[in-house]
Chain A
Amino acid sequence: MSSLVRTSIWGVGSLALYVLLFLFSDETIELARRTREGEKIWFVVPIVIALLFSLVHGAFTGYFWDAVGLKPADKNRKK
Chain B
Amino acid sequence: MEAVGFIHIEMGSALQLFLVGLVGGMVSGFIGSGGAFVLTPAMMTMGVPGIVAVASNICHKFPKAIVGALKRHKYGQVDWKLGIIMGVFAEFGMFAGKQVMTDIKRAYGDVGTNLYVSAVFIVVLGIVGGFVLRDAWRLYKAERAGEDIPANPVTKLARWVQSVRIPGTMMHFECIGASVSVLFIAPLGFATGLLAATIAVGGFIGVPSMIYLLGAPALMASATELVIAFVMGLGGTILYALDGVVDIRLAMIILAGSLFGIQIGAIGTTYVKDHAVKLVMGLIMVIVVVSRFFYIPGYLSQIGTIGPLDPGLLARLKWLGDGTLVLALAVGGLAILWALLRGIAEHRQQHEELAAAEGIED
Please report A residues at the B interface, Cβ cutoff 8 Å.
18, 21-22, 25, 28-29, 32-37, 40, 42-47, 49-51, 53-54, 57-58, 60-62, 64-65, 70-79
Contact = CB atoms under 8 A, between A and B. Distances in A.
A34 B106 CA distance: 27
Contacts of B251: 46, 50
Contacts of B248: 21, 28, 32, 45-46, 49-50
B259 A43 contact: no
B267 A70 contact: yes
B317 interface: no
Nearest to B175: A79
Interface residues of B, number: 45
B26 to A, nearest CB: 11
Nearest to A54: B63
A73 B220 CA distance: 16
Contacts of A49: 248, 252
B244 A35 contact: yes
B264 A65 contact: yes
Contacts of B75: 72, 76-77, 79
A62 B347 CA distance: 21
B299 interface: no
Contacts of A76: 74-76
Interface of B is mostly: helix
Residue from the set B237, B247, B248 with the largest chain A CB neighbour count within 10 Å = B248
B255 interface: yes
A40 B74 CA distance: 37
Given A32-B245, A49-B252, A77 B6 contact: no
B44 interface: no
Nearest to A74: B270
Contact of A58 (B1, B63, B242): B63
Contact of A70 (B62, B64, B77, B264): B264
22 contacts: A28-B248, A29-B6, A32-B244, A37-B244, A43-B238, A50-B60, A51-B63, A54-B66, A54-B259, A61-B67, A61-B263, A62-B67, A62-B263, A65-B267, A70-B264, A72-B75, A73-B271, A73-B343, A74-B270, A77-B76, A79-B77, A79-B220
Nearest to B60: A50
A46 B59 contact: yes
A50 B255 contact: yes
A77 B347 CA distance: 14
A18 B256 contact: yes
A35 B60 CA distance: 19
B164 interface: no
Contacts of B64: 54
Contact of B241 (A43, A58, A62): A43
Given A76-B76, A79-B77, A18 B252 contact: yes
